Amino acid sequence: MTVANLRGNVDAYAPAVGEPADTFTVTEMAKDPDAVQTAILVNDTKLTLCNRARVHDRWRDQVLPFFLKALATEKATATLCARPTLTPVDYIVRVPRQARAEISTVSGSVHVTDVSGPVDVRVRNGDIKLQIPSYGDASTQNGSIVAIFGDAHWPGTLHFSTERGDVEVWVPATADASVDLHTDRGTIFTDFELRGSSNQAGETIVGSIGKGGQRRVNVRVTNGSIRLLKLTPQM
């Protein structure tokens, strides 16, 4: 499931109690209904929420490329409204069980809670918070990231990055993975047994947690700090 918003926040959750696990719902919150600027893609089926028919050339040329990149599929198309207002549009999205969630917004924050499938979040200006039983990637240009995920057996490499902001990642204490953490200007803290190096402004840690292996966590920060912390089972 892919959600691309222009201006506003996106909160994503698992289906509510009593709702079918294989369906999605979208709740829109905006004072001005003409402000809706969102494309939603589910299983290659596009849903475009837009109350104006014409597409302003400037927004088509500058904003549509962002939408299509976020949707990341040749089958996707996006429709924008003419003369969009500055009114933010916030969304609450219920993600089907085990579906991969790809969420992006140009200006706004993204919070994902209890979504059971993998999560990929992209933000230009805003914060990201993931509290999920599976795993995910996240990046923002201007904002901070908190990622708490419970799956110790994720495939491949998980990426977290920001240009201006802090990144805090909670990894299951039982995970076996290689880690690569770097901040150009900032500090790194971890409660895993890792050692790093520093220069005048930044720090780097490259090492392994548990038994290491092909599983990886990669964190990159330009201006800000990094925290890599153990997520332990709660009694």
Digit-by-digit pLDDT tens for the chain (235 residues) are 888 887 889 999 999 888 888 888 888 876 665 555 445 555 554 444 443 333 445 445 555 555 555 555 545 444 444 444 456 788 899 999 989 999 999 899 999 999 999 999 999 999 999 999 999 999 999 999 999 999 999 999 999 999 999 999 999 999 999 999 999 999 999 999 999 898 889 999 999 999 999 999 999 999 999 999 999 876 4
Residue 46 has what pLDDT? 44
Shared-domain flag, residues 90 and 143: no
Shared-domain flag, residues 141 and 100: no
Has residue 51 been placed in a domain? Answer: yes
Shared-domain flag, residues 158 and 84: no
Q: Which domain holds residue 185?
A: 135-235
Shared-domain flag, residues 80 and 27: yes
Has residue 163 been placed in a domain? Answer: yes
Shared-domain flag, residues 73 and 140: no
Shared-domain flag, residues 145 and 102: no
Shared-domain flag, residues 202 and 140: yes
Has residue 123 been placed in a domain? Answer: no
Shared-domain flag, residues 32 and 73: yes
Residue 5 has what pLDDT? 84
pTM over 0.95: no
DSSP letters, the chain, are: -EEEEEES-EEEEPPPTTS-TT--EEEEE-S-GGG--EEEEETTEEEEE-S-----HHHHHHTHHHHHHHHT-TT------SS--S---EEEEEPPTT--EEEEEEES-EEEES--S-EEEEEEES-EEEEESS-EEEEEEES-EEEEE--TT--SEEEEEEEES-EEEEEETT--EEEEEEEEES-EEESSS--EEE-SS-EEEEEEETT--S-EEEEEEEES-EEEEEE----
Residue 200 has what pLDDT? 85
Has residue 116 been placed in a domain? Answer: no
What domain count does the chain have? 2
Has residue 127 been placed in a domain? Answer: no
Shared-domain flag, residues 88 and 171: no
Q: Which of the listed residues 108, 125, 160 is the one where a domain comes to its end? A: 108
Has residue 130 been placed in a domain? Answer: no
Residue 70 has what pLDDT? 54
Shared-domain flag, residues 86 and 163: no
Shared-domain flag, residues 155 and 101: no
Long-range contacts (CB closer than 8 Å, 24 or more residues apart) made by 116-123: 116/14, 118/154, 119/12, 122/70
Shared-domain flag, residues 180 and 87: no
Has residue 120 been placed in a domain? Answer: no
